[in-house]
Structure 1
Amino acid sequence: MTITTLDRTFRVPLDHAKPDGETIEVYAREVTRGRTDLPYLLYLNGGPGFPSPRPLGGEGWLRRALTDYRLLLLDQRGTGRSTPVTRHSLAKQGTPQQQADYLKHFRADSIVRDAELIRQQMTSDKWTLLGQSFGGYCAVTYLSFAPHGLSEVFITGGLPGLESTADDVYRLLYRTVVGKNAAHYERYPQDIERAHNVARFLKDNAVHLPNGRPLTVEAFQALGNLLGSATGSTRLHYLLEAPFDGTHLADAFLADVERELSWASSAPLYFLLHEASYARGEGATGWSAQRVRSEFPEFDKDDPLLFTGEMVYPALFDTDPALAPFRETAHLLAHERTWPELYDVDRLRANEVPVAAAVYHDDMYVARELSLETARTIAGARPWLTAEYEHDGLRVSDGAVLDRLISMLRLGEGPGHAG
Structure 2
Amino acid sequence: MAKEVNCTMATAKLLGKRTHQVPGRLSVSELFFEVPKDHANPSYGTLRLFARSVERFEKPIDASKREVKQPPWFKDCEAIRKTLTADFPEEKKKWSIMGQSFGKVAERNKAYYNKYTEDIHRVKDIIRYIEKENITLPSGGRLSVLRLRQLGILFGFHGTMDTVHEMITRFTSDLNQFGYFTRPTLAAFSDLLPFDTMPLYALVHEPLYARNNAPNWSADRMMKQNPDFTNVSADSPNPVYFTGEMVFKDMFNDYDELTNLKETAEILATTDDWPELYDEAQLARNEVPVYSATYMEDMYVHFDFARDTASKINNCHNFITNVLYHDALAHKTDELMKQLFALRDDTID
Measured in 1, the distance between the counterparts of 2:109 and 2:305 equals: 22
Give 1:152's match in structure 2, choosing from 91, 96, 103. 96
Aligned pair partner of 1:383 in 315, 318, 341: 318
Residues 311 and 235 (structure 1 numbering): CA distance in 2 closer, same or farther, change over 3 Å? same
Counterparts of residues 150-189 of structure 1 (less than 5 Å): 150-158=94-102, 176-189=104-117
Structure 2 equivalent of residue 55 of structure 1? none
Q: 1:4 to 1:402 in 2, by over 3 A?
A: closer
Give the % identical residues: 29
| Superposed counterparts of 1:19-418, under 5 Å | 19=42, 21-28=43-50, 37-44=68-75, 115-124=77-86, 149-158=93-102, 176-243=104-171, 244=175, 245-261=177-193, 263-280=194-211, 282-301=212-231, 302=233, 303-413=238-348
Shift of 1:250: 3.7
SS in 1 for 2:142: coil
Q: Is the 8 A contact 1:202 1:216 kept in 2?
A: yes
Contact (CA 8 Å) 1:227, 1:309: kept in 2 or not? yes
Amino acid at match of 1:348: L
Equivalent residue for 1:144?
A: none
Counterpart CA distance in 1 for 2:108 and 2:279 is 33
The AA in structure 2 aligned to 1:349 is A
Aligned partners of 1:217 and 1:412: how far apart in 2? Answer: 51
Residue 125 (structure 1) shift: 5.6
Secondary structure at the counterpart of residue 356 of structure 1? strand
- Once the two structures are superposed, what CA deviation does each residue of 1:257-314 show, in whole Å capped at 9, x if it has no partner? 11112x323311111110011111x210000011111011222324411100000111
Return the alpha-carbon distance in structure 2 between the equivalents of residues 349 and 43 of structure 1. Answer: 20
What is the CA distance between 1:197 and its match in structure 2? 0.8
Q: Is the 8 A contact 1:126 1:150 kept in 2?
A: no
Whole-Å separation in 1 of the counterparts to 2:314 and 2:30:
36
Q: Deviations over 1:203-257 (max 9, x none)?
A: 2222221223211100100011111101110111111123123322343332221
Cα 1:122–1:394 shift into 2, 3 Å: closer
Deviations along 1:307-355, one digit per CA (max 9) or x if unpaired, are 0000011111122111111110110000001112111111111222222
Distance 2:82 2:331 in 1: 33
Larger displacement relative to structure 2 (287-296 or 242-251): 242-251
**Aligned mates of 2:86, 2:277 — CA distance in 1:** 26
The structure-2 alpha-carbon separation of the partners of 1:260 and 1:375, relative to structure 1 and needing over 3 Å to count, comes to same
Question: Post-superposition shift, 1:367?
Answer: 2.1
Residues 354, 380 of structure 1: 8 Å contact kept: yes
Indicate the SS of the match to 1:41: coil
Residue 40 (structure 2) aligns with: 17
Cα contact 1:290–1:314 (8 A) shared by 2: yes
CA positional deviation for 1:400: 1.3
Structure-1 residue corresponding to 2:4: none
Unaligned segments of structure 1, at least 5 residues: 45-111, 128-146, 159-172, 415-419
State the alpha-carbon separation in 2 of the partners of residues 279 and 4 from structure 1.
33
Amino acid at match of 2:143: L
C-alpha change, 1:366 and 1:150, in structure 2 (3 Å) is farther
- Two-structure CA RMSD over aligned residues (Å): 2.7
Contact 2:220 2:249 in 1 (8 A): yes
For residues 279 and 227 of structure 1, the distance between their equivalents in structure 2, rounded to whole angstroms, comes to 25
TM-score (norm: length of structure 1): 0.67
* Unmatched 5+ stretches in structure 2: 1-19, 22-26, 58-62
TM-score of the aligned structures, taking structure 2 as reference length: 0.79
For 2:282 and 2:168, the matched residues in 1 are separated by 49
User: Retained in 1: the 8 A contact 2:206–2:215?
Assistant: yes
Paired AA for residue 138 in structure 2: P
Going from structure 1 to structure 2, the CA distance change for 1:29 and 1:202 (only over 3 Å counts) comes to closer
Number of residue equivalences = 306
How far apart, CA to CA, are the structure 2 residues paired with 1:37 and 1:346? 34
Whether the 8 Å CA contact 1:116–1:149 is kept in 2: the answer is no
Q: Cα distance, 1:194 vs. partner?
A: 1.0
> What is the one-letter code of the residue matched to 1:406?
F
